[in-house]
């Protein structure tokens, strides 16, 4: 089986080397950069299976890298795990809103990070076997091309908003709790961060305008895509 590549964008050399050593030891290939702008070009060139992205970077910061990757159809589907300093909750929230799949707080456990990497990659591999095109109530998703449209008009949504909409559409008519959505969309349970789902739903609804009526709130439980 061909080894998957993990791209590490981290400016602290000791952390970068620690990550590279342990990720290679776990059976992955790696490519690395300590600069945001160079890292963005590296990701575009290598198209890795997953990106580990530090928030604080020279050149351009990790949030700008995340935003640029989400806007590029060639990289929008690449999962991103952001590395953030303890206490920087706003960076984590913004990163998730911009399309990051997960985050890890420094100082982190390498064992936990590897678990999260495997969880995210496993979820991505499962999606490859699901329907590549979804269409309901005027909403269409091309999963492989990572494109969304409402009544044939393209929707400018982030990678995370795309995954959220996709999950709801795949379970149309069923109530999805916030916990289920966190686990399915992010591939990991965020203890105490269920409100992150509400933030993404508000943004997604705003972008869908009148078409957002298909996204129903089930009070006290979660959300449902109208059957």
Tens-place pLDDT, residues 165-185: 999 999 999 999 988 888 777
The 10s digit of each residue's pLDDT in 55-100 is 999 989 999 999 899 888 788 888 899 888 766 666 767 777 777 8
% of the chain beyond a pLDDT of 90: 49
Asked whether the predicted pLDDT for residue 4 surpasses 90, the reply is yes
Asked whether the predicted pLDDT for residue 32 surpasses 80, the reply is yes
What integer pLDDT is reported at residue 187 of this predicted model? Answer: 60
Asked whether the predicted pLDDT for residue 130 surpasses 60, the reply is no
CA pair distance 32, 43, nearest whole angstrom: 9
Domains, the chain, in order of start with CATH, read 5-127 (3.40.50.2300), 133-225 (1.10.10.10)
CA pair distance 224, 28, nearest whole angstrom: 37
Q: How confident is the model at residue 189 (pLDDT cuts 50, 70, 90)?
A: low
What integer pLDDT is reported at residue 158 of this predicted model? Answer: 81
Q: How confident is the model at residue 147 (pLDDT cuts 50, 70, 90)?
A: confident
What integer pLDDT is reported at residue 33 of this predicted model? Answer: 96
- The per-residue pLDDT of the chain, averaged, comes to 86
DSSP string over 19-79:
HHHHHHHTT-EEEEESSHHHHHHHHHHH--SEEEEESS-SSS-HHHHHHHHHH-TTTTTS-
Q: How confident is the model at residue 106 (pLDDT cuts 50, 70, 90)?
A: confident
Structure tokens at 69: 């990757």
CA distances (Å), origin 73, targets 61, 70, 146, 166: 21, 7, 7, 16
Asked whether the predicted pLDDT for residue 126 surpasses 70, the reply is no
Higher pLDDT, 123 or 164: 164
Phi, psi (degrees; rounded to nearest 5) at 58: -75, 165
Phi, psi (degrees; rounded to nearest 5) at 35: -130, 135
């Amino acid at each position: 089986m061909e080894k998957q590549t993990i791209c590490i964008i981290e400016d602290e050399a000791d952390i970068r080397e620690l990550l590279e050593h342990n990720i290679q030891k776990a059976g992955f290939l790696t490519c690395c950069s300590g600069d945001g702008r160079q890292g963005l070009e590296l990701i575009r060139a290598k198209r890795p299976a997953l990106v580990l992205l530090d928030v604080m970077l020279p050149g351009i910061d990790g949030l700008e890298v995340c935003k640029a990757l989400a806007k590029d159809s060639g990289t929008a589907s690449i999962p991103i795990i952001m590395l953030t300093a303890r206490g920087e909750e706003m960076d984590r929230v913004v990163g998730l809103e911009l399309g990051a799949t997960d985050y890890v707080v420094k100082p982190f456990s390498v064992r936990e990070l590897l678990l999260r990497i495997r969880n995210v990659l496993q979820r991505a591999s499962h999606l490859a076997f699901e329907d590549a095109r979804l269409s309901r109530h005027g909403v269409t998703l091309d999963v492989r091309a990572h494109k969304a449209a409402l009544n044939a008009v393209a929707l400018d949504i982030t990678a995370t908003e795309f995954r959220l909409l996709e999950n709801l559409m795949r379970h149309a008519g069923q109530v999805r709790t916030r916990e289920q959505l966190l686990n399915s969309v992010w591939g990991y349970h965020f203890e105490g961060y269920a409100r992150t789902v509400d933030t993404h739903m508000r943004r997604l609804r705003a972008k869908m305008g009148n078409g957002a009526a298909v996204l129903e709130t089930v009070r006290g439980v979660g959300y449902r895509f109208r059957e």
